[in-house]
Structure 1
Amino acid sequence: MNRLVLLSGWGCDARIWQALDGHWPPGIAVSAPDWPGYGQQPESHEPDCLADTARGMAEALPTQAVWVGWSLGGLLAEALLDHLPAPRALVVIGMGPRFCHPDGVDGEELATFRRAFRRDPEATRAHFLRWQLRGEPSPRAAHRQLLGLIGQAPPAGLTTLAAGLDQLARLDASRRRGVAPCPVYRLAGEADPLLAPAAREAADWRLAKAGHCPMLSQPERLAALLTAVANAPALPPTAPEALP
């Protein structure tokens, strides 16, 4: 049975992937583990230490699977390729080789966000949840759906969330271009407000009528694409335009 491991991003735990329930065909095994410090998982002793994160995630990230990382989850999954045996493939959703880009969210904007988070973490996270949904066809409906899945309460402690913002600022996967230990594919919503236009254009696949959270706005198409990756006897898989 082909396997997918779904990894969530900053400020959201694994429950966000429940939006894809009902869209998986037979023969696909799907798991969605929480990162250390999220959900019911204990907080890492050093939340910003990748080696510590790798130890906490080793059992949840098998080699005979396709890892799917969304947003910060994609950036972290790429970084863990230096610490864990590689999967069959990695699909990164809504993230370029770096988070900050002069034509997207630049370093100054992220620094301002981090200062706001230190002053009022709950309000800042609530603002971020709305911000990332601006590119969806119906942002208000997507926001209601998101809160219905993950609730209002923060899914992780302040130390874990602050460490995640630090990782967004410093992690850089660009050095792995062409030398990653497994195929790495990027998927972007065509209206993702957090990605620079160049990053959206450089993606291997772009989903129409989707923003940063295609699991909310395009669950059927996203599940079909990820299924195609998992089922591909040889990568790269079928392009999404050819999917039913």
Structure 2
Amino acid sequence: MTRLVLLSGWGCDARLWQPLAEHWPEGLAVSAPDWPGYGTRPPLADPGSLAQLADAMGDDLSADAIWVGWSLGGLLATALLDHLPAPRALVLLGMSERFCHEAGIPEAELAAFRRAFARAPEATHRHFLRWQLQGESDPLAAYRRLRELLGDNGGADHATLAAGLDQLAGLDNADRLARSPCPVWRVGGDRDPLLAPAWRTSADYRLVDTGHCPMLGQPSSLAACLLGIAGVPAP
């Protein structure tokens, strides 16, 4: 049986994937485990430790599955290739080998965001949840759906969020992807404001009329794309 493991990004727990549920065919096994520190899952003793993260996620990230990592989830899933048996394939959704790019999110902009988060974590987090949706065809509707799913705080622990920002700033997976032990597929929205234009155009799959959050803006298109990668007929 084909298995998909859906991994969320910074600031959003696994409830974000719920809009895809109606688009999965029977017989497809789909799981969406929370990262430590998200949802009801307790945070790590050291939220920035990849070794601790691998220990915590080992049962969720099995080798017989396709890992789908969105945004920071893609960065972390790639980094965990050094710690866990390789999956059947890795899908990077809204992410490339690193987060920052001068034509996308420059390092200085992320540094300013980290300072703002340190001063006012809750307000900065809420701002990000809305801001990341600006590439969707109907950002207001996408934000309403996001709030229906997650409420106001995204279900995340502050220390885990701070460590996640450190990982967005510091993780560079170029070498890991160059020697990846499994197939890697890059998927991006054609209006994703967090991806540099060069990364959007070089994606293996470009989702039309959506931005950084296609699970909210174009869930049917995203599900069809992931089914195609998995080799599973659409329902």
TM-score band by shorter chain is over 0.9
Give the aligned length: 235
Contact 1:12 1:155 (8 Å CA) reproduced: yes
Q: 1:231: how far off?
A: 2.6
Deviation at 1:21, TM superposition (A): 1.4
- CA distance in 1: counterparts of 2:229 and 2:201, whole angstroms: 20
Runs of 4+ in 1 over 3 A off after TM superposition: none
Residue 181 (str. 1) matches residue 181 (str. 2): yes
Question: Which residue matches 2:209?
Answer: 209
Rounded Cα–Cα distance in structure 2 between residues aligned with 1:154 and 1:85:
30
Is residue 65–residue 230 contact of structure 1 (8 Å, CA) maintained in 2? no
Q: Which residue of the partner structure matches residue 157 of structure 1?
A: 157
How far, CA to CA, are the matches of 1:177 and 1:80 in structure 2? Answer: 12
> Could you say which residue in structure 2 is the equivalent of 1:99?
99
Residues of 1 paired with 2:140 and 2:123: CA distance?
17
SS in 1 for 2:69: strand
| Preserved CA contact (<8 Å) 2:126 2:153 | no
Equivalent-residue separation in structure 1 for 2:176 and 2:21 (angstroms):
33
CA shift, 1:157, in A, is: 1.5
Distance in 2 between the 1:169 and 1:215 partners?
24
Q: How does 1:16-165 map to 2 (within 5 A)?
A: 16-165=16-165
Tell me the CA shift for residue 154 of structure 1: 4.2
> Which amino acid is 1:179 matched to?
R
Task: Report deviation, 1:128.
Answer: 0.6
What is the one-letter code of the residue matched to 2:133?
A: L
Q: Secondary structure at the match of 1:90?
A: strand
State the SS of the aligned residue for 1:78. helix
SS of aligned partner of 1:22: helix
| CA distance, structure 2, for counterparts of residue 176 and residue 132 of structure 1 | 27
Matched, 1:9 2:9: yes
Deviation for aligned residue 1:153 = 2.8
| Residues 178-187 or 29-38, more deviating | 178-187
Report which stretch shifted further, 149-158 or 97-106: 149-158
Query: Secondary structure of the residue that 2:200 maps to in structure 1?
Result: helix
1:8-67 CA-to-partner distances (Å, cap 9, x unmatched) read 000000000001111001121000000011111111011001000000000000100000
In structure 2, the residue corresponding to 1:21 is in which secondary structure?
helix
Q: Which residue of 1 aligns with 2:229?
A: 229
C-alpha deviation, 1:178, in angstroms: 3.2
CA contact (8 A) 2:14 2:34 kept: yes
Name 1:235's counterpart in structure 2.
none
* Aligned CA-pair RMSD: 1.4
The one-letter code matched in structure 2 to 1:14 is A
TM-score (norm. length: structure 1): 0.93
Tell me the CA shift for residue 156 of structure 1.
Answer: 1.6
Q: Structure 2: any 5+ residue segments left out of the alignment?
A: none
CA deviation vs aligned residue, 1:212-241 (integer Å, no higher than 9, x gap): 000111111111111122236xxxxx9xxx
- Judge which range, 59-68 or 145-154, deviates more: 145-154
